[in-house]
Amino acid sequence: MKAIYPGSFDPITNGHLDIIQRAAHLCTELIVAVLQNSEKQSYFLIEERLDMIKKATQNLKNVRVRSFEGLSVELCREEKADCLIRGMRDIGDFRFEWEAAQLNKNLGSIETLFLMTNTQYAFLSSSRVREIARLGGNVAHWVPESTHKYLFPSKEG
């Protein structure tokens, strides 16, 4: 099975990485697709988000990282992928993900497979990580090492 895990990854967290590792185990090939959205301002540049994910997944041989714009269903067609992978943290995610999955099924007959969060990451989001890092908090346990230097550029020199 060839699957695509799309998202903003702004930045990648250990919650995302956990989903990537578990999905990679289930797939022959997993593409992590980073959304480049000209309508929505991201905190990190697309090149930075790609670099963080590539470094964090370099030991996973069946994982490829790329950017994309536009609809996930078009990306699935282009890549000839079998399905989308999404992570699910709580009932808040469910509402949004349910609608997106229905749309993708209708737009392009694309199935979405959900992996439930590992409970230790259930509270974790990119926006919380950015906020805690901005306030000087320690996020070392919540993001891959490749993300540290982007969150704390001055400490790394």
Q: How far is the CB of 154 from ligand ADP (least distance, A)?
A: 25
Render 94-136 in DSSP notation, one character per residue. HHHHHHHHHHHHHHH--EEEEEEPPGGGTT--HHHHHHHHHTT
Kindly tell me which residue out of 89, 143, 146, 150 binds ligand ADP, with binding defined by CB under 6 A. Answer: 89
- If one asks whether residue 121 binds ligand ADP (CB under 6 A), the answer comes out as yes
Determine which one of 8, 49, 72, 89 is catalytic.
89
Two tokens, residue 57: 């997944």
Which one among 49, 86, 110, 151 touches ligand ADP, defined by CB under 6 A?
86
Q: Which residue has the tokens 């550029």?
A: 153
Residue closer to ligand ADP by CB (options 106, 120) is 120
Question: Residue 58 has which token pair?
Answer: 């370099």
User: Which token pair is 61?
Assistant: 């041989």
| Residue 25 annotated as catalytic | no
Contact 63/20 with Cβ under 8 angstroms? yes
Q: Work out how close the CB of 62 gets to ligand ADP at its nearest, in angstroms, rounded to a whole number.
A: 19
Q: Are 54 and 6 in contact (CB under 8 A)?
A: no
Using the contact rule CB under 6 A, the part of the chain among 63-71, 76-84, 102-110, 123-131 near ligand ADP is 123-131
DSSP 140: T
* Residue from the set 19, 33, 73, 133 that interacts with ligand ADP by CB under 6 A: 19
Angstrom distance (rounded) from CA 20 to CA 7? 11
Count of residues that interact with ligand ADP, criterion CB under 6 A: 16
- Residues classed as catalytic: 16, 40, 89, 126
Q: Which residues bind ligand ADP (CB under 6 A)?
A: 7-9, 13, 15-16, 19, 86-87, 89, 93, 117, 121, 124-126
